[in-house]
Copies of this chain bind each other. A is one copy, B any other.
Amino acid sequence: MISKAQIKRISSLRQAKFRDEEKVFVVEGVKIVQELLESQISIKTICATKDWIEENINKASKFTKEIIEVSQEELKKISSLSTPNQVLAVLNQIGEKEIKYKENYVLVLDGIKDPGNLGTIIRVADWFGIEDIVCSEDTVDLYNPKTIQSTMGSFLRVNVSYKDIYLMLSNLQDFPIYGTILEKGMNIYETNLEREGIIIIGSESHGISPQISPLITHPITIPSFSKGQGPESLNASIATSIICSEFKRKLKI
């Protein structure tokens, strides 16, 4: 049984303010919670339907402090999804790890605003073996429910940190900083690439900000194959995937 106070507390975690106060976040749905259990991460609270609990009690009780049975209606009250799916877990926020700059790429996100885009970028990074993402302080919250859902579990494997990216990039010395510039960048399909570096991804509506642009040492561009006018730009997560695909293909690392 879930109490009224618990319903209120868990619902409040939709808002960043309450998530940050408690230093927790929420993960939902059978598939992602399954990944949590397999990754053996410690879970504070699981709220789940009777069926889910019956099927998963052995595995779930090993890593979970508290398991609460909820009805479909109660799950709907605490969920951020329009159609909640059997189970919701509350976890401690993940500590930021040290960034590994050597022999890999680090993604730097400059003001990504859409949680779905951030989540998809994390999933893309995970697919391409990129272990570190640094977000500017005005990037959307990693723990926004929509971000977490769109990572499809990749938040477990990619180290996401928030920093003053101007300071961080200014302090790097002799380290390649790639960034997409619509005009006069090197064609990503034709340019030689370094074995390590930063890849900056600009925001959905404004691209890379005027403060950050001058720090780019290796301007790149994704050429369009459109025969006519074509679109002005690509979505941020789409641009990320094309760049990561091309970098990794060429360097095979």
Q: A interface vs B, CB < 8 Å? A: 116, 120, 123-124, 126-129, 150, 152-154, 157, 189, 222, 224-235, 237-238, 241-242, 245-246, 248-249, 253
A129 touches B227 (CB 8 A): yes
The residue from B120, B128, B235, B253 contacting A224, defined by CB atoms under 8 A apart: B128
B-chain residues with CB within 8 Å of residue A233 when the two chains form the complex: 152
B-chain residues with CB within 8 Å of residue A242 when the two chains form the complex: 241-242, 245
Given known contacts A238-B237, A245-B242, A248-B225, is B127 in contact with A231 (CB within 8 Å)? yes
The dominant DSSP class at the A interface is loop
Beyond A222-B245, A237-B238, list 9 extra A-B contacts (CB 8 Å): A120-B238, A129-B230, A152-B233, A225-B248, A234-B241, A241-B242, A242-B242, A245-B245, A245-B246
Given known contacts A245-B245, A246-B245, is B126 in contact with A157 (CB within 8 Å)? no
Distance between Cα atoms of A235 and B234 in the complex (Å): 16
Chain B min CB distance to A114 (Å): 10
